[in-house]
Amino acid sequence: MPIATNAFAHVRLTVTDIEKSRAFYDKVFALPVAFELPPDADAATREQLSFLFGGVIYKLGDSLLGLRPVSEDDFNEDRTGLDHVSFAVADRSALDDATKVLDEQGIHHEGIKDIGAGYILEFRDPDNIALELFAPK
């Protein structure tokens, strides 16, 4: 019998520079923070939140998106592991709005592409991790 699941609980990305990555994800997505280590945390809190490894976890709908500062190499989707992360948006007009946000932030992106089942907008984070916004038709 297969394992029954219906969603991702979380995705955590390894990054080279947590401050740079946080600034990027904050300005692009403005997600609320679910977990982070307070700068004035006591020893018990540091131990309790040690799973963060100095990173941050954002709330993304019913899921979580985490950043973990442990990687020394830039991302390459041609290696075994992660290919890209795709975020859902409501519709094509949300992609049009997203291109404006990316342009205002100086973030390079591909044009909106029709892939049959919907539309995608591709761009990359500071560690070259491939990100995508997907809008259904």
12 lies in the same domain as 51: yes
Residue ranges for the chain with pLDDT beneath 70: 71, 80
- Whether residue 96 sits in one domain with residue 131: yes
Give per-residue pLDDT as tens, 9-25: 899 998 989 999 999 99
For residues 87 and 63, membership in a common domain is answered with no
- pLDDT of amino acid 81: 78
What is the tally of structural domains in the chain?
Answer: 2
Output the 3-class SS for the chain. Answer: CCCCCCCCCEEEEECCCHHHHHHHHHHHHCCCEEEECCCCCCHHHHHHCHHHCCCEEEEECCEEEEEECCCCCCCCCCCCCCCCEEEECCCHHHHHHHHHHHHHCCCCECCCEECCCEEEEEEECCCCCEEEEEEEC
**CATH code for position 109:** 3.10.180.10
pLDDT at 80: 67
Do 92 and 37 have their domain in common?
no
Looking at the structure, tell me whether residues 110 and 137 fall in a common domain: yes
**Same-domain status, 89 and 65:** no
Does residue 37 sit in the same domain as residue 59? yes
pLDDT of 76 reads 72
pTM attached to this predicted model: 0.87
Domain of 67, in residue numbers: 1-73
Q: What pLDDT is stored for residue 8 in this prediction?
A: 85
Please tell me whether residues 95 and 136 are part of one structural domain.
yes
pLDDT, tens only, 40-58: 999 999 999 998 888 999 9
Q: What is the pLDDT of residue 103?
A: 97
pLDDT of residue 71: 65
